[in-house]
Homo-oligomer: A and B are copies of this chain.
Amino acid sequence: MGGTAKSVLIVTAHPEPASFNQALSTRAASALRAAGHQVVLSDLCAEGFDPAAGWHDFTAAADPDRFHYQSEQANACRNAGFAPEIAREQARLEAADLLILQFPLWWGGPPAILKGWIDRVMAYGFAYVDGARFGTGLFRGRRAVLSVTTGGTPARFAPDGVYGPIDAILRPISRLALDYMGFEVAPPFVSHGVPRISAEDRAALLEAWAAKVTALAALDPPPGERPADPLSLVPEGAWSRA
């Protein structure tokens, strides 16, 4: 597959259309398309994605008397019972060889709208099941990368900086979410202090990002393949104990 056309999903979480985050996503999309890849953009703020988990995730309830998230998600997987906006995002994700998450670092993590996309779309039975994680995760064979903008300068993210290294800050999402699901996670692309840098520095970041995503998309896929029916990997009802 190296060098062949890939499907790429870019999920962007910034409320301002003229933001640098949006510019990064737009630049990545144009570079990837120019290289022959297919690109789908999930612009969460523009689409009005609802980040809050709840009964509205589902078109029917397995147990209306008690909201047990994983059980309801497993039920929705078996019965095509996800709400339309979740089913749409899952279809986009299932088709993607490369997943890009583009977001500003707010309080050490993604904005809630992106955390909610992870909480709701990465459902039990779709994104993970018992016993399938990390090296055996359901998204083996796929790549993912985070592109993050910060208000803080690089010095704040130095080993002795007040925030510390960005890799540690991003670890919950890179290790406990994407890596857990089986994605091969590339090192993050970080645009530091974007509110205060020059137009030339911004332009250089856009080109560096375009080059990085193009190189990532050109790679051979990592080993592994997504199973056709993830819930068949676990005994019936296993999730209901969770």
Whose C-beta in chain B lies nearest to the C-beta of A242? B195
Q: Contacts A15-B67, A69-B15, A169-B172 known; A118 to B113 CB distance under 8 Å?
A: no
> CA of A21 to CA of B226 in the docked complex: distance in angstroms?
33
Whether A51 pairs with B112 at a CB distance below 8 angstroms is: yes
Contact A107 B172 (CB under 8 A): yes
A122 proximal to B (CB < 8 A) = yes
Report yes or no: B66 in contact with A177, Cβ–Cβ below 8 A.
no
Contact with B along A160-171 (1 / 0, CB 8 A): 001110001101
Q: Which residue of B lies closest to A151 (CB)?
A: B242
- Measured between beta carbons, the chain B residues less than 8 angstroms from A180 are 107
Among B66, B119, B134, B195, contact of A111 (Cβ-Cβ < 8 Å): B119
How many chain copies?
2
Encode contact with B along A39-81: 1 for CB under 8 Å, 0 otherwise.
0000001000111111100000000001111000000000000
A168, B171: Cβ atoms under 8 Å? yes
Q: Is B107 within 8 A of A122, CB to CB?
A: yes
Task: Please name all residues of chain B whose beta carbon is closer than 8 Å to the beta carbon of A173 when the two chains form the complex.
Answer: 107-109
Interface residues of A in 163-193 (CB under 8 A from B): 163-164, 168-169, 171-173, 175-177, 180
Q: How large is the interface on A (under 10, 10 to 19, 20 to 34, 35 or more residues)?
A: 35 or more
Q: Is A196 interfacial (CB 8 A cutoff)?
A: yes
Nearest B residue to A65, CB-CB: B18
Q: List 28 A-B contacts (CB under 8 A).
A: A15-B55, A15-B67, A16-B68, A51-B52, A51-B112, A51-B115, A51-B116, A53-B113, A106-B119, A107-B177, A107-B180, A108-B171, A108-B177, A109-B115, A109-B173, A110-B115, A111-B116, A111-B119, A112-B113, A112-B119, A113-B116, A115-B115, A116-B116, A151-B242, A163-B175, A169-B172, A195-B241, A195-B242
A-B contacts besides A16-B68, A109-B172, 20 pairs, CB < 8 Å:
A15-B53, A15-B67, A15-B69, A16-B66, A50-B52, A52-B112, A52-B113, A52-B116, A107-B119, A107-B176, A108-B173, A108-B175, A108-B176, A109-B109, A109-B173, A110-B115, A111-B119, A112-B116, A113-B116, A196-B242
